[in-house]
């Protein structure tokens, strides 16, 4: 069975200024010099997409609106992201689900809008601490997956990121057994939806990934890359994660 090329993506969240161009330049130099055994993506805040583009690293976005244009003050559409050269957009990150009350239906509409423009949607799912403690992890993730992937989604336009909410920015990570269990359930759902092509959908793990734990987490079955927050802000830290894919 062929496995998809891993995707290691940095989600800068609401961090980064024009001076961050130097981090992209540094990362680009490291990859040029030492290579990368995976696909590399940075999703900076929208304000930096243009400035960071064209430096040899794929640049994506952290969110898009479900409509392509119109009276939506402050929002950014998938067509605008495509216009800037983005190939990826994160949708349904837990911080957006929590801070902006985004539902599965909204996440699905955003993923659909992105895919209509030929962008790949990185659809985020993951349980809260309370849900894990109540033994609801697999049910929560299943309903998020079922509710957030567009009916007409194509394999090429879909990446799933499993990010347990309690592991984000906390330094805590699930055991490799727990990651394997959730990723196996996600893979089964993808196979159910896409048939055997479901094997080609990348499933990233996210939540306190750093250079010191990347190799172990990335070796778990059905983990096809990482979605990285804090450790993606500095080129050196992020490159340390990328090297998990060097043999």
Q: Which residues are at the interface with ligand 13P (CB under 6 A)? A: 11, 93, 163, 168-169, 206-209, 227-231
To the nearest whole angstrom, how small is the minimum distance from the Cβ of residue 192 to ligand 13P? 26
**Best CA proximity match to 42, nearest among 99, 65, 109, 30:** 30
CB of 163 to ligand 13P, least distance (A): 5
Min separation Cβ 235 and ligand 13P, Å: 15
Greatest Cα pair distance, the chain, in angstroms, is: 50
Q: Name which of 157, 178, 153 is nearest 167 in CA terms.
A: 178
Residue number with the shortest CB distance to ligand 13P?
A: 229
Beta carbon nearer to ligand 13P, 77 or 204 = 204
Q: Decide if 100 is catalytic.
A: no
- Under a CB-based contact definition with an 8 Å cutoff, are residues 84 and 50 in contact? yes
Q: DSSP class of residue 191?
A: H
Nearer to ligand 13P, 225 or 229 (CB): 229
Question: Does residue 57 come out as left (phi exceeding 0), alpha (psi in the -120 to 50 range) or beta?
Answer: beta
Backbone angles phi, psi at 234, to 5 degrees: -110, 130
Exactly one of 93, 102, 112, 183 is catalytic; name it. 93
Q: Across the chain, where does the E strand assignment appear?
A: 7-11, 39-43, 58-59, 88-91, 120-125, 158-162, 202-206, 225-228
Which of 23, 95, 127, 163 is flagged as catalytic?
A: 163
Contact 70, 30 (CB under 8 A): no
Q: Measured from the CB of residue 165, what is the shortest distance to ligand 13P in angstroms?
A: 9
Least distance in Å: CB of 212 to ligand 13P? 13
CB 225 within 8 A of CB 243: no
Cβ distance to ligand 13P smaller for residue 44 or 229: 229
In the complex, least distance from residue 100 CB atom to ligand 13P, rounded to whole angstroms = 15
Q: Is 163 a known active-site residue? A: yes
Write the CA distances from 173 to 205, 207, 210, 224, integer angstroms: 10, 7, 10, 17
CB 240 within 8 A of CB 6: no
Q: Which is nearer to ligand 13P, 208 or 222 (CB)?
A: 208
> Hey, which residues are catalytic here?
93, 163
């Amino acid at each position: 069975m062929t496995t998809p090329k891993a995707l290691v993506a940095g989600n800068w969240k609401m961090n980064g200024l024009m001076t961050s161009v130097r981090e992209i330049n540094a990362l680009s130099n490291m990859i040029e010099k030492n290579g990368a055994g995976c696909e590399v993506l940075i999703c900076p805040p929208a304000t930096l997409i243009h400035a960071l583009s064209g430096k040899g690293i794929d640049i994506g976005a952290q969110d898009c609106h479900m409509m392509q244009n119109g009276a939506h003050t402050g929002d950014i559409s998938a067509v605008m992201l495509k216009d800037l050269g983005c190939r990826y957009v994160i949708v349904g990150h837990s911080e957006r689900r929590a801070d902006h009350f985004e539902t599965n239906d909204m996440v699905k509409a955003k993923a659909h809008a992105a895919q209509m423009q030929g962008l790949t949607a990185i659809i985020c799912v993951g349980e809260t601490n309370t849900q894990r403690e109540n033994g609801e992890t697999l049910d929560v993730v299943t309903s998020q997956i079922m509710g957030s992937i567009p009916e007409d989604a194509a394999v090429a336009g879909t990446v799933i990121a499993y990010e347990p909410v309690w592991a984000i920015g906390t330094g805590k990570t699930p055991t490799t057994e727990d990651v394997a269990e959730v990723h196996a359930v996600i893979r089964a759902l993808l196979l159910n939806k896409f048939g055997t092509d479901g094997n080609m959908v990348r499933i990233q793990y996210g939540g306190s990934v750093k250079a010191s734990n990347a190799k172990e987490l990335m070796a778990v079955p059905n983990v096809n890359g990482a979605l990285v927050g804090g450790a993606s802000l500095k080129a050196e830290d992020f490159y340390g994660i990328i090297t998990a894919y060097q043999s």
